[in-house]
């Protein structure tokens, strides 16, 4: 049987793939290896202290998790945190800043970019302490409210999930703003000028020309910031440690508490695996939407 025209022989295909072999090995050792161990430990009763021999327990950890009200609460708060601070907050504010920066003067643009990007480059723990100092009962927010005679409260106690959502929006908006700023440069100016001559207002031009043109950038940005927000740990742990009670206990916080504070490595790893699956599902949805756009 003759090989199709243009097809490589197995030996030549292998030789062409040799330069990528070191990268494949590194990925297998440092990425696939830990994920494999994570999957294994998720089906065991491994503990840090006070445990006998580690043994295989099947789906017991997952059954326990989905029957645990604290786990279900963590899943719900994770969805609230991701949708509120990433899908709505960072995405919308990043787009708004990018659009406004198109019309701003150079000094205003430089100042805004500097302030927004400074929040993004701060280490997560440092940003968490700054936001804690802003929201706690004697913090900056209550000082400003008191100066105007407005009611004050301990925001980290009364509305902890809202506080951490706003903190994550403040810290992460810069990434979305830069993505959308780059995308807006690809919008054909002649289309905007033609629409303006036809009487289209700013909102009409944004809705009918700008957003359809940059929709792929919007979907890509949504996927990236969703995956990043799912793994946020240091910001929340610094501000509230998941409290008060479990009112801001997202899945990464709950996983940490079970694995390292309660010493239940097997159970905590099962929760980590659930978080990995949630991230994969979000990715599949966004990739599917991009595919539909192409079709």
pLDDT of residue 115: 80
Rounded Cα distance between 269 and 292, Å, is 35
pLDDT of residue 129: 92
pLDDT of residue 294: 62
Domain boundaries, given as residue ranges, for the chain: 71-251
pLDDT of residue 2: 53
Coil/strand/helix, residue 199 = coil
Rounded Cα distance between 252 and 271, Å, is 8
Rounded Cα distance between 126 and 213, Å, is 37
Give me the architecture of the 71-251 domain, per CATH. Orthogonal Bundle (1.10)
pLDDT of residue 75: 93
pLDDT mean for each 10 residues of the chain (295 residues): 56 74 82 83 84 81 92 93 92 89 81 81 88 89 88 89 93 89 85 80 82 87 90 92 90 92 90 88 83 66
pLDDT of residue 185: 85
pLDDT of residue 52: 65
DSSP one-letter string for 40-73: HHTTB---SSS--S--B-TTHHHHHHHT-HHHHH
Angle, helix 106-121 to helix 91-103, in steps of 10 degrees = 150
Rounded Cα distance between 142 and 86, Å, is 26
């Amino acid at each position: 049987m003759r090989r199709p025209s243009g097809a490589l022989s197995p030996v030549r295909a292998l030789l062409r793939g040799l330069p990528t072999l070191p990268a494949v090995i590194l990925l297998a050792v440092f990425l696939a290896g830990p994920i494999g161990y994570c999957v294994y430990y998720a089906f065991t009763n491994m503990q840090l202290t006070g445990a006998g021999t580690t043994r295989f327990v099947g789906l017991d950890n997952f059954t326990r998790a989905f029957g645990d009200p604290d786990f279900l609460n963590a899943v719900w708060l994770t969805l609230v945190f991701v949708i509120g601070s990433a899908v709505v907050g960072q995405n919308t504010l990043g787009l708004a800043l990018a659009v406004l920066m198109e019309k701003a003067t150079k000094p205003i643009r430089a100042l805004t970019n500097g302030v927004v990007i400074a929040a993004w480059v701060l280490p997560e723990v440092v940003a968490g302490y700054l936001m804690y100092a802003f929201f706690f009962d004697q913090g900056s927010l209550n000082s400003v409210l008191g100066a105007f005679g407005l009611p004050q409260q301990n925001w980290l106690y009364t509305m902890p999930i809202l506080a951490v959502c706003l903190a994550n929006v403040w810290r992460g908006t810069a990434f979305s703003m830069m993505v959308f700023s780059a995308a807006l440069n690809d919008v054909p100016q002649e289309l905007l000028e033609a629409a303006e001559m036809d009487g289209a207002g700013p909102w009409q031009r944004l809705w009918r020309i700008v957003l359809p043109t940059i929709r792929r950038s919007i979907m890509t940005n949504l996927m990236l910031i969703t995956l990043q927000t799912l793994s946020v740990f240091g910001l929340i742990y610094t501000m509230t440690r998941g409290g008060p009670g479990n009112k801001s206990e997202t899945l990464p916080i709950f996983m940490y508490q079970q694995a390292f504070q309660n010493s239940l490595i097997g159970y905590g790893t099962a929760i980590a695996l659930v978080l990995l699956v949630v991230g994969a599902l979000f990715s599949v949805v966004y990739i599917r939407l991009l595919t539909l756009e192409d079709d």
